[in-house]
Amino acid sequence: MAAITLRRRAFSGLYAAGSSHLFHSISSPAREFFPKEKHGCGSSSFTLSSWHRGLFRSFSVDSSAGATTGSGLFPATANEPVVSVDWLNRFLRKPDLKVLDSSWYMPNEQRNPLQEFQVAHIPGALFFDVDGISDKKSNLPHMLPSEEAFAAAVSALGINNSDGVVVYDGKGIFSAARVWWMFRVFGHDKVWVLDGGLPRWRALGYDVESSASGDAILKASDASEAIEKVYQGLPTVGPVTFQARLQLHLIWTLEQIRKNIEEQRYQHIDARSKSRFDGEAPEPRKGLRSGHVPGSKCIPFGQVLDASQCLLPASELRKRFEQEGISLDRPIVTSCGTGVTACVVALGLHRLGKVDVPVYDGSWTEWGSKSDTPIATA
């Protein structure tokens, strides 16, 4: 209980500290429902795609309740894992759409995502703590929490199973893909990543809120407390509005990776940089050996994104995977350093119809820390 109290105080302290140096909101003019092509990400211009037009046409509103009905926020195709900033701006205030800032940064970047959330975030967004909503019994970073813990944390954020969820981060597409994968692991498919993230949102002049509401900060704190209570065996305070249903086929363990080295049934894609994959650059985390899992192939996560940090169009994604000898007709598993950027590659594969790509949650932080795991170098 002491840890929970300290966590709440820490959130309150950050809120007080951040509120004294907040930016003013950026105003933006009204935009047409179908924005000009320049609002699209990179060369793909998904804002004007037939998928988005179909989504717009399918969107209906119950005037008596002000809520979306029918197919509503749900895409016409299950393969499309992202939405554009123009789409989000259009439907931002719908009550059954929840927006999550899931920014997370490497320790050496010395950036505090919660403080940055307080300074500027998409209006109405909630903060999803990637490190906090994790397995408290693991010594590995931000490992998946239990079903009960995830359900408790997401319920504390005010999300239920009927909600559509849009996730973004402060880099473009980075940690948001991890949270997209987490929701899918726990059985929630009505989740999308904001293409280009907060940088794209701000580059197009859309409004940001310059201070986190007390409600958003309290919900972030409550989510962290809910996780702590579950792992301490204590009852949670609020009602559980989100039911988690674990999808084991989307998660791989060390033993499954070890077995796959022998069987080679799954193609293994490593999303780390080529120099780390080859064992030529040291790992950013101490105590890890350098190299890669034997038989795996390297596709750095940045290579599935364009210069605007948006997901590449399907034709370019397909070409990129084929260049590395990856067959889209065979099963694939992804990994990286700590299970974050592996999800970016999984996001790209999802666009190509590979909707059941598992991620090795422990990734290189687990594999490289063991003395008995085989390692290959360049």
Q: Which residues are catalytic?
A: 336
Q: Is 81 helix (H, G, I), strand (E, B) or coil?
A: coil
Name which of 350, 196, 365 is nearest 270 in CA terms.
365
How far, rounded to the nearest angstrom, does the alpha carbon of residue 248 sit from its chain's CA centroid? 18
Note whether 342 and 370 are within 8 A (CB). Answer: no
DSSP string, 134-202: S-TT-SSTT----HHHHHHHHHHTT--TT-EEEEE-SSSSSHHHHHHHHHHHTT---EEEETTHHHHHH
d(C-alpha 288, C-alpha 366), whole Å: 9
Name which of 370, 289, 313 is nearest 43 in CA terms.
313
Q: Is 277 helix (H, G, I), strand (E, B) or coil?
A: helix
Give the β-pairing of 67-69 and 60-62.
antiparallel
* Burial class of residue 65, CB neighbours in 10 A (0-12, 13-18, 19+): exposed
d(C-alpha 265, C-alpha 179), whole Å: 27
DSSP 124: T
DSSP string, 204-220: TT---BSS--HHHHHHH
Name which of 161, 233, 254, 200 is nearest 46 in CA terms.
200
Note whether 154 and 162 are within 8 A (CB). Answer: no
Note whether 236 and 229 are within 8 A (CB). Answer: yes
